[in-house]
Amino acid sequence: MTSLTHFLGGTAAAYAAGAELVVSAAAGFAAVLPDIDTPRSFIGKKLPFFSFFFRHRGFTHSLMFAVFVYILVYRFLGVEPALYAVTGFGSHILLDMLNPSGVELFWPLPWRVSILKIRTGSFCEILLLAGLAAAVLVIRR
């Protein structure tokens, strides 16, 4: 999925979970974080050296990394921001599980989890993106 799809997915997930819109947008930024493992992504272009250490959709797309993110945010910002950060982060993992490549959810085990076959940049992703954008506008109204 694209960075925009991940951002809107994280924003919609946090907003649906009860966060205010500004906090939801912060969760949207957290949702972009897992793609730090690829130099082609929005965040990977800003911090390209991380992609040398991690395989795409490996460690940074795992439950283990989600726990790490939760602990890190909890340590510095508290429980509520940590929950919303992991909500956004988790939406990224779920959205990438819709891709045929899947994610290494149980890293370090090499098993990839994929539940659908929506390709990045495809018409189906555009429909998903439109649905996520609509969800951000409609949820909790």
Condensed to tens digits (0 to 9), the pLDDT of residues 88-127 reads 999 999 999 999 999 999 999 999 999 999 999 899 999 9
Q: What is the pLDDT of residue 139?
A: 77
Distance CA(25)–CA(32), nearest Å, equals 11
pLDDT value of residue 106: 98
Q: Report the number of distinct structural domains present in the chain.
A: 1
Segment (H or E) for 81: helix 79-96
- Cβ atoms of 45 and 39 within 8 Å: the answer is yes
pLDDT of residue 133: 85
Residue 43's domain comprises: 3-138
pTM of the model: 0.91
pLDDT value for 51? 86
Interatomic CA distance for residues 82 and 76, integer angstroms: 9
Q: Give CA separation, 80 vs 38, 103, 105, in Å.
A: 29, 26, 24
Tokens, residue 29: 């930024």
Tell whether the model's pLDDT for residue 140 goes beyond 80: no
> What pLDDT is attached to residue 39?
92
**Would you state the pLDDT for residue 141?**
65
Structure confidence by residue, pLDDT tens digits, 16-54 = 899 998 999 999 999 999 999 999 999 999 988 888 888
Contact of 120 with 2, CB cutoff 8 Å: yes
